[in-house]
């Protein structure tokens, strides 16, 4: 990599493109264009938090991913004119069974990833739209796909299979797991903070609008709460989480709901929003005195406790529990509820440390160390891209 080159990381969503520019491990700037197609807005900050841009964009300048990325390219040309983009790294939620490492993007890969869209309909189409836009904006520049599923690809079949006829597993109906970029970053930070603990039996709870949990041994994924799609496991902002398949049969057979209607229910109208009838945002729920909001919070925490016990059973015990993600990093209440009545497993919180948003949340004498570690998926992508382009 030349002295003045940098790596651009892109995380494309349905109505926004988040981006970050890296020089090695150093983040030069980060920003996003949100409101695609409606009220587009560009905001950018440097690593010290200084505002570099905060302005509305003409609708035509961010009507879609292509034009929004054009606005980002224009900003970078002005803000960092001496920085050539060496490579562009992309978060891709689903890599299927074949991708355990970051990989350069070509037409064949894009076609394969297109076929996985039904397994991650909230994310995959927009991730791929970002890649296609970047290929136009940066012709000839390597585009690298980094997969949220890759961290979990080393599981044995007994962990990833469903109790279905074997032919389904062979055609790809299996547990994949997600949030792998976050888990890999947090596992690395834990190894820096507490190396002995990081080599042990660890559960990481990535709690945000999307939520899952992962059991790790020696920093490697052993099992995770999400499965074939990003619907499984914990309830989320608008997603149901684990649900009895019999409920789906009932909705089809007795309520006459088709696949599209059920998908809309499970992806967009369930989770914290469905339970509370108020909001998918934990901050709004915590500020509310509505009993339905409290039910949503308590159910969320109950499912975290349930998944903690299940993953600890797979690990054969527990040495550390780590909270990350937007809710996991910021909600002392959720962390407290998630650790309540878990003394049988050795989990205990120091209430003062928890309220103060400390890194270590458990007393020194606790059997299980509890941590709050901020995740950084974009930095993990930058690391993966650097390793690949230097190889």
Question: Given its phi and psi angles, is residue 307 left (phi above 0), alpha (psi -120 to 50 degrees) or beta?
Answer: alpha
Based on the number of CB atoms within 10 Å of its own CB, is 37 exposed (0-12), middle (13-18) or buried (19 or more)?
A: middle
**Over the Cα atoms of the chain, what is R_g?**
21
| 278 phi, psi to nearest 5 deg | -120, -55
| 19 phi, psi to nearest 5 deg | -145, 155
Placement of tokens 């660890």 in the chain? 202
Instruction: Give the Cα separation of 118 and 99 in Å (integer).
Output: 17
| 286 phi, psi to nearest 5 deg | -65, -30
Q: DSSP secondary structure string, 129-184?
A: HHHHHHHHHSTTS-EEEEESSGGGTT--HHHH--SS-HHHHHTT-S-----HHHHH
Inter-CA distances, 100 with 148, 151, 155, 255, 351, Å = 10, 7, 11, 41, 39
Instruction: Give the Cα separation of 356 and 345 in Å (integer).
Output: 24
Sheet holding 51-56, edge to edge: 51-56, 41-46, 26-34, 16-23, 5-12, 84-92, 143-147, 103-104
Placement of tokens 């903070």 in the chain? 193
Question: Is 352 tagged catalytic?
Answer: no
Catalytic residue among 34, 148, 319, 376: 148
Based on the number of CB atoms within 10 Å of its own CB, is 252 exposed (0-12), middle (13-18) or buried (19 or more)?
A: middle
What residues pair up with 26 in beta bridges, in sequence order?
A: 23
* Residue 138: closest CA among 288, 6, 260, 49: 6
Residue positions annotated with a catalytic role:
148
């Amino acid at each position: 990599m030349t002295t003045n080159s940098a790596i651009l990381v892109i995380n494309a969503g349905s109505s926004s493109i988040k981006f970050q520019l890296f020089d090695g491990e150093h983040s030069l700037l980060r920003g996003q264009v949100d409101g695609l197609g409606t009220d587009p807005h560009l905001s950018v900050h440097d690593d010290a938090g200084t505002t570099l841009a905060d302005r509305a964009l003409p609708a035509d300048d961010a009507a879609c991913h292509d034009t929004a990325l054009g606005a980002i390219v224009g900003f970078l040309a002005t803000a960092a004119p001496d920085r050539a983009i060496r490579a562009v790294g992309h978060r891709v939620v689903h890599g299927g069974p074949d991708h355990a490492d970051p990989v350069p993007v070509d037409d064949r890969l894009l076609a394969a990833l297109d076929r996985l869209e039904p397994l991650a309909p909230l994310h995959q189409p927009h991730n791929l739209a970002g890649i296609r836009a970047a290929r136009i904006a940066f012709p000839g520049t390597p585009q690298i796909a980094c997969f949220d599923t890759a961290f979990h690809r080393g599981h044995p079949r007994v962990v990833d299979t469903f109790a279905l006829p074997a032919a389904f597993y062979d055609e790809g109906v299996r547990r994949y797991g997600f949030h792998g970029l976050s888990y890999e970053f947090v596992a690395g930070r834990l190894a820096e903070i507490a190396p002995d603990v990081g080599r042990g039996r660890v559960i990481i709870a990535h709690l945000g609008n999307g939520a899952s949990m992962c059991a790790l041994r020696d920093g490697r994924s052993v099992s995770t709460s999400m499965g074939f799609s990003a619907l499984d496991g914990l309830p989320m902002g608008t997603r149901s989480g684990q649900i009895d398949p019999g409920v789906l049969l009932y909705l089809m057979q007795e309520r006459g709901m088709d696949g599209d209607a059920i998908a809309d229910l499970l992806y967009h109208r369930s989770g914290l929003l469905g339970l509370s009838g108020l909001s998918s945002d934990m901050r709004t729920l915590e500020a509310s005195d509505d009993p339905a909001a409290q039910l949503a919070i308590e159910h969320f925490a109950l499912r975290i406790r349930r998944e903690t016990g299940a993953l600890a059973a797979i690990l054969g015990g527990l040495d550390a529990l780590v909270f990350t993600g937007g809710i996991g990093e910021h909600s002392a209440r959720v962390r407290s509820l998630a650790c309540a009545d878990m003394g049988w497993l050795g989990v205990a919180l120091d209430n003062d440390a928890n309220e103060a948003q400390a890194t270590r949340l458990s007393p020194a004498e606790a059997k299980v160390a509890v941590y709050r570690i901020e995740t950084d998926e974009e930095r993990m992508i930058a690391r993966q891209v650097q390793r690949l382009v230097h190889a």
